[in-house]
Amino acid sequence: NYNLSTFIPAINYLTSKGYLVLRMGYNIDKLETNNDLVIDYSHMPWRSEFMDYYLGYACDFCISTGFGADMFARLHRKPMGIIAPAISDIYYLHKNYTFIFNNIKIRGSNSNLTLKEIFENNVHLLENIQKIDQTKFELVKNTPEEIKDLVIEVTKKHENNYIIEDAEAELQNKFWELFFKYKKKITENPKIKDRISYSFLKKKIK
């Protein structure tokens, strides 16, 4: 239930680089834009199940909130930028996925929880996120800036123009140490590098 305007800065970034952007899914609200490089496929008369499949095959990468039409891009193992509702929703075995996740705050507070606070209060779990309205916590959707930063990172990775700095590697390691501390492990830790958006981690790890 994101407002379409939340994605406009990310869309403008992509089209400024010459990418054709298709808004997928089956939606009621139409994406109004005068940008010739943006197609609201969800309202196109040529939309079909075959075209869903073909676009998943033909796309360079996919940005998704984790539901619906992204299954076709996943099927063809395309790079993904995923806005996950909960940390436990992260598919950490996929090396070409980059994640951010929704922010969480205490109701009435002006600041979001740190990553450690999210884990300590068990609001990293999807089952608790689904019942968050019954708690003292509140889910905060990602901002247009956070989504744009995710898109920039995914784009650079697709273009082989993304350099992992030492500071980023350190933050990634800190994240996964926390992740596997609170997540029951079934197998050995996979070899993980840059699954979480660096720009997002900088704000979450303190």
Between 81 and 86, the higher pLDDT residue: 81
Distance CA 63, CA 58 (A): 14
β 103-106/137-140 pair status: antiparallel
Per-residue pLDDT band at 9 (split at 50, 70, 90): very high
Numbers of helices and strands, H then E, in the chain? 8, 7
Selection from 143, 126, 117 nearest residue 197 by Cα: 143
Top mean-pLDDT range of 16-25, 121-130, 192-201 = 16-25
Selection from 163, 155, 199 nearest residue 18 by Cα: 155
Residue that is written with structure tokens 């676009």 in the block: 55
Q: Residue 151: pLDDT above 80?
A: yes
Q: Residue 41: pLDDT above 60?
A: yes
pLDDT at 66: 79
Ramachandran region of residue 20, left (φ > 0), alpha (ψ -120 to 50) or beta? beta
Distance CA 154, CA 107 (A): 32
Task: Give the pair of three-digit tokens for residue 71.
Answer: 């299954």
User: Is-contact 123 132, C-beta < 8 A?
Assistant: yes
Inter-axis angle of helices 144-158 and 8-16, to 10 degrees? 30
What mean pLDDT, rounded, does the chain reach? 89
Q: Residue 206: pLDDT above 80?
A: no
